[in-house]
Chains A and B, each alone.
Chain A
C-alpha cells in the first residue's frame, strides 16, 4: 500500500509488504450456507444483526428478499455480504479502505473510506449501504471502542456492510443472524463455518459442507459473474 502502488504491483515485483489490517488466521476460511427451504422470511436475522451491531435505522447488513417466479413459486432470499473471493468492491476502491483478509472476509476501514461509493456501484449484490447522514446513536453504541472488526459507533459519510461477525468467530461464537434465526425457528436456516473444516453449523445442527452442497444442489448467487461468493444457498424446495 502506498502512493499509487498497489498490492498487485508489489506481488509482481515479488515484494509483499504487510497490510496489517488483512492479517488473520488463514487456516480458517469462513463460509455461510443458507437453506432457502427453511427460510420463512420472518426477518429475525436482520433484527438480530441490527441489534448486535447497532446498525443504523434504514440500513440492513442482511436483507431478506421475497422472490416470486413466473410459475407462482415463492420463497425468501436472505442476502448478507457475499464475501466474494474475487470481490468487485475491493478491486475498485481507490484508497484500499475495503480489503480482503487472509481468512476470506471482506472488511471496511471506516477511518480510511472517503465515501466515493464506487464499491456500491460495483457490488452486484447491493450488499453495501452508505451513511447519508450522521446515524442516530445509542449510549451503548457510543461506549463501544471502534475497530475494523467491530466498526461502530457508526459514522456519517462512509460505506458499511456485513462483516461476517468475525469478532464472534474469534470467540468461537456464531454470527448474530445465525443465532437469531435458530432462536426463532429451532432448526435455523443459516449455517456458518470454516471451509477448511468442511463443516457448517446453525447452532443446533452441524452439516458437512461439501457433501451438503453436492447432494442438495447448493448454488451461489450470480455464479456466472465469477465473483466466487463465500455464501452458498440450498434450493428453496428440497427434492
Chain B
C-alpha cells in the first residue's frame, strides 16, 4: 500500500501525454472567458446599466448563475460523502471527479454575487460592518465554510496519489512541486493509512450537514423576503434536492466526457452510469414532487399575487421556459432513466444534459418571474438580459470546463490508490473464498 500500490499507469497517461485537441479546447475556453472578462470591464466602467436589470427586476442572470453553480457544487461533496459513509464500493473511481467539481463550482458560484454588486470596490464593508441578521451574511459564512471543507475533503485522498506521482513519475517542475507539497511526509505506513482513513471518514460526515446548510441558506436569501413565490418554507429542502439533482447530472456528464477522452472505460463502467442514473431518477421524482407541492399550494389558495405569479409562469412571458423545464428537464429525463432500453451510457448522459439545462432554467425561473410580479399597482417588470450578462454566463461555464480540464492534467481524475485498493480487497476476498472452499 502507499508506495507499494501498483498504480495503473493508464490513469497517469492523460498527465503525460497531451494532444493538440486539448490545447485547442483550452484556447476556445480561454477566449470565451476573455469575452466575459471584457463584458465585466464594460460593466465596471459604466455600472450595471449595461445589464438588462432595472428597479423592478433587480436580480437576474448573475443571481440565477450563483444559485445554479452552488447547486452543481453539491455534486461532489455530498454525493461522494454519502456514498463513502454508506460504504458503496462502486464510488471509488468517481469520488475525485465529483469532489473536484465541488471546489471548482463553489469558486465560480462565489464570484457571481460579487459580479452582481453595484460597488464591488466596497466589498470590504462586509467584513467591517457585517450584520448577522442578513441572510447574505449567513451565505457568506456557510459558503466559505463549505469551500474550506471541500478543499480539505478533496485534498486528503490526493495525498497517497501525490506520493505515487512524486516517486514514480517525472512530470515537470510545477507538478513535481505540487506533489511534493501535497504528499508531505507520506510513506504509506500502516499508522498513516489509519490516520488518513479516519480523517477522510470524519470529513465525509462533517461535510454532509455543511453542504445541506449551504443550499438551504441560499434558498433563505429568497425565502426570508415577503415576495410571492419566494416566501415559502418549502424552499430550503426544495433547493437542496434541486442541488443534488443538478449535481448528479453534472457528474454524469463529466464521467461521459472523461470516459471518452481519457479512455477510462475500464473504470467508468456502465454500472457507474446506471447506479448514478438511479440516483438521478430518485431525485428527479423528488423534484417533481416538490414542484407539484409548491405550485399546487399556490394555485389552490389562489391569492391575488400567487395567481399573477403562476399566470406569468404558465401562460405568460415565461411559459416556454416553464413548460420546457417541467417537460424537457424533469419528465423526459425521468422517462429516459426508467426505461431499460434508454438506460445506456448514451441515454443516461442525454438525460443528465437535459437535467442540467432544465435546472439552470429552474434557477432562472426562481429569480426573475417573482421579481417581475408587480408589488404595487400594477405594472409588470420586464427583464431582457444583455450581451454582457450572457457573455459572463458563458464565461462562467467555460471557466468551469477550463479549470476542470486543467485539473485533470495535474491530477489523475480517478483516484489511483482507491481503485487499486478496491482490486486488492476483491482479490483478497477471492483468495479468502478460495481458502474456505479448499
Contact = CB atoms under 8 A, between A and B. Distances in A.
B377 A94 contact: no
A95 B118 CA distance: 14
A145 B360 CA distance: 46
Contacts of A126: 55-56, 375-376
A134 B134 contact: no
B224 interface: yes
A59 B116 CA distance: 20
A159 B48 CA distance: 12
Interface of B (DSSP majority class): loop
A117 B58 contact: yes
A71 interface: no
B134 A91 contact: yes
A199 B222 CA distance: 39
Interface string A1-18: 111111111000000000
A133 B49 contact: yes
B119 A114 contact: yes
Given A3-B130, A130-B58, A114 B226 contact: no
B25 to A, nearest CB: 35
A2 B134 contact: no
B271 interface: no
Name the residue among B130, B141, B378 with the largest chain A CB count within 10 angstroms: B130
Interface string B32-61: 000000000000001111010111101100
A88 interface: yes
A4 to B, nearest CB: 5
Nearest to B116: A116
B227 interface: yes
B123 interface: yes
A61 to B, nearest CB: 12
A116 B56 CA distance: 14
Interface string B125-146: 1111111111111001100000
B389 to A, nearest CB: 13
A237 B200 CA distance: 71
B398 interface: no
A173 interface: no
B221 A131 contact: no
Interface of A (DSSP majority class): loop
Contacts of A93: 131, 134
Contacts of B59: 117, 121
A118 B221 contact: yes
Given A88-B226, A112-B125, A95 B119 contact: no
Nearest to B127: A3
Interface residues of B, number: 45
B225 A92 contact: yes
Interface in A87-126: 88, 91-97, 112-118, 120-122, 124-126
Given A95-B126, A131-B118, A133-B49, A121 B376 contact: no
B55 A120 contact: yes
Interface in B66-113: 113
B136 A116 contact: yes
A95 B131 contact: yes
Interface string B368-383: 0001000111100000
B122 interface: yes
Name the residue among B130, B131, B137, B378 with the largest chain A CB count within 10 angstroms: B131
Nearest to A75: B377
B414 to A, nearest CB: 41
A156 interface: yes
A67 interface: yes
Contact of A114 (B126, B141, B376): B126
Contacts of A91: 133-134, 224
B46 A133 contact: yes
Name the residue among B122, B129, B135, B226 with the largest chain A CB count within 10 angstroms: B129
A67 B377 contact: yes
Interface of A: 1-9, 59, 63, 65-67, 77, 79, 88, 91-97, 112-118, 120-122, 124-126, 128-134, 156-159, 225, 227
19 contacts: A6-B131, A9-B132, A63-B376, A77-B376, A88-B225, A93-B131, A94-B131, A94-B134, A94-B137, A95-B126, A97-B129, A113-B119, A115-B117, A118-B135, A118-B136, A120-B55, A121-B225, A129-B55, A134-B46
Closest 9 CB pairs of A and B: A115-B118, A157-B118, A133-B49, A132-B49, A94-B136, A94-B134, A65-B377, A157-B119, A133-B47
